Chains A and B, each alone.
Chain A
């Protein structure tokens, strides 16, 4: 399909093969323009978060009541909030909070879910049955409501928010890793390794896990969008990251009483949540096309 010299040459080393595979995947991914631009946007967000203190035009925590609820202007591009803080600067620093939450949740859920999934899938029999019953139980519970109850009990804050969401969010990775493992388990190279006397843990680590990861990463991209929405929802209810840390959901809530006359206070942070989540969904679509184009329906 794509004529390119790198595709016909035989790779010289496994590193070379890896490089060429990534290149080929990149060509497929970048052929979808919306996914590509969404990807650039997410990279930009990460850069903005890293250099927030250089980019932000004002101090996000600088309270000045004489400047409260200023309309968008050339000094305050997106206006000021009810405490006179610059909304654009708070949005920029809010990226950090969002990334922080998402990374922590991934750190808690993905290893746990994938471990449960591949052990269930490879172990089969009663191991599979017990682990999957457990997953089913967690799947049948109301995730959001349980997380809310958990946060109420622990007291609101970043850590309880992360733990509360992680509590039920690992299930999707467990299911995906399990179904992939069941397919991989039957492959000949796994049988060859077994005949050579490889221990189950070795096979899981070196054969099953690397092949599970692509599907897990696609799922992860979609889930990140969901996690951002959920965390913002907690913030909106006042149960998320506590002020004065800038957080998008909390910013939407703080503008709610002034919606009628000062619409910009709620609008800008809500739009930021929306765009970020949309970009993640588009990147997810692009990645899915790389892994399995037929899944596009």
Chain B
């Protein structure tokens, strides 16, 4: 019970911390928030009126409570680039990002776990060194440059894959109400649209998923090796259990919990990674929206996007905590 309580407490505190940071970035910045509303040439009376209507004459803590109330009611203000409510904009772009991040997660996790186990199994061999090299390159390569290289080779050079964007120009008018282009076109049976979208998502998935693959492979390898060195594995070997059976029946169930945590937390990294990947591939998602707002100092949109990502992050951390609690019997028995 104490564990649940402290987990909830951390979640609430983190959300509060996030709010405090976005609040201060939004209000206590060198750019005058009033001037950005009324313009440079406004008279002092208009300026004063705007100040009062924005609540900026109140003490800081009251301003913070007002901000808190607005956020809780889902009011992130208007974006001056699109002149629509930020929340509406976010809902519009988030699905494209979720689709890309989820594809990258599937790509990174399936290959990463496979490579990690394979490397650990052949510890010290050329396979292990190769996987180590691949993941080191994944850690070191600048995402945006890698994306440009792939575009240069596979789009301009070989023509195997379509260029930037989510879908070809002649399907541009395809109306996916949910925003999840791939799932909806498949579900509605529009296979030509589905294949086109699938063709478009491959390169950005490879770019975004590569870092994920490196991370998952490295973590899997280290978890498997740590487990492999435990005495019970030696016992199993002495009893003549085969290598693959040791891995699937003994090691995997035992590293399930930390591995799931690693995977869940890596999803946050993918969401952040979309900022650069989407810019390179002109992917119409949260990352592109954020970069566009950043370049035009559209503060409401920036803070909305920051807050949304932050909430997903906090959600993932809470999820990881509860995974540990729900799956790991040792955590459940810990009644202290």
Contact = CB atoms under 8 A, between A and B. Distances in A.
Interface of A: 133, 136-138, 140-146, 148-155, 225, 229, 232-233, 236-239, 249, 252-253, 256, 259-260, 263, 266-267, 270-271, 273-274, 277-278, 280-282, 285, 297
A277 B146 CA distance: 14
Interface of B: 10, 13-14, 17-18, 21-22, 25-26, 29-31, 120, 123, 136-137, 139-145, 148-149, 151-152, 156, 221-222, 225-226, 268, 271-272, 275-276, 279-280, 290-291, 293-295, 297, 299, 302-303, 305-306, 309-310, 313-314, 317
A267 B144 CA distance: 11
Contacts of A259: 148, 151-152, 156
B144 A282 contact: no
Contact of A229 (B142, B305, B310): B142
Contacts of A140: 10, 14, 313-314, 317
14 contacts: A136-B14, A140-B313, A140-B314, A145-B306, A146-B306, A148-B306, A149-B302, A153-B30, A153-B302, A225-B139, A233-B275, A236-B144, A270-B142, A278-B140
B142 A237 contact: no
A277 B317 CA distance: 28
A142 B272 contact: yes
A143 B268 CA distance: 10
B72 to A, nearest CB: 19
B140 A142 contact: no
- Main SS at interface, chain B: helix
B34 to A, nearest CB: 15
Contacts of A267: 149
A67 B167 CA distance: 38
A267 B148 CA distance: 9
Given A136-B10, A149-B22, A239-B294, A142 B306 contact: yes
A148 B313 contact: no
A137 B17 contact: yes
- Main SS at interface, chain A: helix
A270 B222 contact: no
Contacts of B143: 229, 233
A166 to B, nearest CB: 14
A155 B31 CA distance: 9
Contact of A153 (B280, B290, B299, B309): B299
Closest A-B pairs by Cβ, 7 of them: A270-B145, A297-B225, A278-B140, A277-B140, A153-B29, A137-B17, A144-B272
A297 B30 CA distance: 47
B299 A133 contact: no
A142 B310 contact: yes
A274 B134 CA distance: 13
A162 B305 CA distance: 22
A263 B276 CA distance: 19
Given A154-B29, A237-B276, A141 B313 contact: yes
Contacts of B141: 274, 277
Contact of A249 (B136, B142, B309): B142
Contacts of A151: 294
Contacts of A141: 14, 17-18, 21, 310, 313
A148 B313 CA distance: 16
Contacts of B294: 148-149, 151-152, 237, 239
B142 A277 contact: yes
Contacts of B156: 259-260
Contacts of A280: 140
A145 B309 contact: yes
B142 A152 contact: no
Nearest to B22: A149
Contacts of A271: 145
B25 A149 contact: yes
B331 to A, nearest CB: 17
Contacts of B30: 153-155
